[in-house]
Amino acid sequence: MRRRPGRRYSTGVPQRPVLAVADCVVIGAGVSGLACAGALAAAGRAVVVLERARGVGGRCATRRLPGPPVQPVDFGVAFLHGRGERFRSLLREVPAASLPGWPRRVSGEGTPCHPAAFEPGDTRLAFAEGVSALPRHLARGLDVRLGAKVLGLEPAGDRVRVVVEDGASVESAVAVVATAPEEASALLATAPAEAPVRSAVAVLALTPSERCLTLLARYGPGAPAPEWDVCYPEGSRVIQLVSHDSAKRLAGREPGAPTLVIQAHPGWSRRNEDAPGWPAGLLAEAARLLGDWAARPELVQAHAWRHARTPRAGELAAPMLLTLAGGARLGLCGDRFGPGGGVEAAVVSGWKLAERILSEAGRPTSSTKER
């Protein structure tokens, strides 16, 4: 059941209401946090997931463009890939029409976001309804509370009190932070300034996340449909990837009305993220690479991913589990906490953190209770 936290006050002096008490609270409903929460819940732990956005998934994001018909467009992760059998098994479990091997038609010699996706032994696929089918599958049966922006972490004896924007809180023996490193650092800065916390903040600050300025561009019926699924232009310092997103859709628009997702290089994104004209710059470069038609979409939407990818230099070997002086635990997981980065690394880091929590925390100590 999904609930928005509400204000509840006792008579007399207002006090911070306790939204729930749980064995574990997970901050962030991206695939890493959902994977961790799912593994803990499957082991009998009472878990609450707090997500500030209106939906789950993080960068596994699908936007619905107006129709008819309404058209799903993947504007974060263009496709899913991995080589571990557990992760590939998870992809097979997703109850959505899959497109095995997508992208099959690849143009250009530029560097993919994750070059390993095209190496032998790596499985690639997309979903006809969008990559958000994966996080929705991971979220099934979990207590996910949307619109819950977490402001800070407070000590509460042998527990952690997670403070939500409206003044409510969730108390738990274990708090897992499954957000972008910069957001995780900001939350850890509100926790007790103990040595493990300071060390974790220092590690997260070593390598900032890469930016990615992104355009969703839908073209009119006269536009030529690209003969490729994904293009990695080798001669551009502006565009890293162009995804022919409408090629995924089994019930999309008529042929000749393609929808492209244009993603900028991290460096160009960093230099231009505060410039109001960056969408025009991306369209101009797309026209140079693809033809004049690419500069004239009938519908365009822009999105700035501030924490899009983990640079290879910032990858860590495993998730973190910190022990505070009172005995409470703080866990950190995400695509930074696993080699290779990307969605598979994020999911696996969530699973590994759950395994460590279960092995070190003993038997369940509480059940989720509304107050």
Strand partners, 127: 98
Peptide bond preceding 233 in cis form (omega within 30 of 0): no
Domain end point (choices 309, 344, 361)? 309
Residue 239 near residue 233 (C-beta atoms within 8 A): yes
Q: What is the mean pLDDT of the chain?
A: 90
Q: Is 172 helix (H, G, I), strand (E, B) or coil?
A: strand
What's phi and psi for 114, nearest 5 deg? -130, 90
Which tens digits make up the pLDDT trace of 190-245? 998 999 999 999 999 999 999 999 999 999 988 998 999 999 999 899 999 999 99
Domain end point (choices 309, 330, 356)? 309
Residues 143 and 46 in one domain: yes
Number of structural domains (the chain) is 2
Say yes or no to pLDDT of 189 above 70.
Answer: yes
Q: Residue 250: its pLDDT value, please?
A: 60
Residues 172 and 300 in one domain: no
Which DSSP string corresponds to 9-35? Answer: --SSS----EEEEEEEEEE--BHHHHH
Residues 127 and 223 in one domain: yes
130-144, 238-252, 273-287, range with the lowest pLDDT:
238-252
CA-to-CA distance for 113 and 38, rounded, in angstroms? Answer: 28
What CATH number is attached to the domain comprising 274?
Answer: 3.90.660.10
Strand partners, 243: 230, 261
Which tens digits make up the pLDDT trace of 274-305? 999 999 999 999 999 999 999 999 999 999 99
Q: Residue 70: its pLDDT value, please?
A: 84
| Residue 159, both tokens | 């527990």
Which tens digits make up the pLDDT trace of 33-56? 999 999 999 999 999 999 999 999
Say yes or no to pLDDT of 7 above 50.
Answer: no
CA-to-CA distance for 77 and 338, rounded, in angstroms? Answer: 18
The whole domain housing 350 covers: 18-57+136-207+313-370
Domain end point (choices 309, 324, 345)? 309
Strand ranges (E), 45-139: 47-51, 62-65, 71-74, 80-82, 98-100, 106-107, 123-127
Residues 247 and 290 in one domain: yes
Residue 306 near residue 209 (C-beta atoms within 8 A): yes
The reply to whether 11 falls in a domain is: no
Residues 53 and 143 in one domain: yes
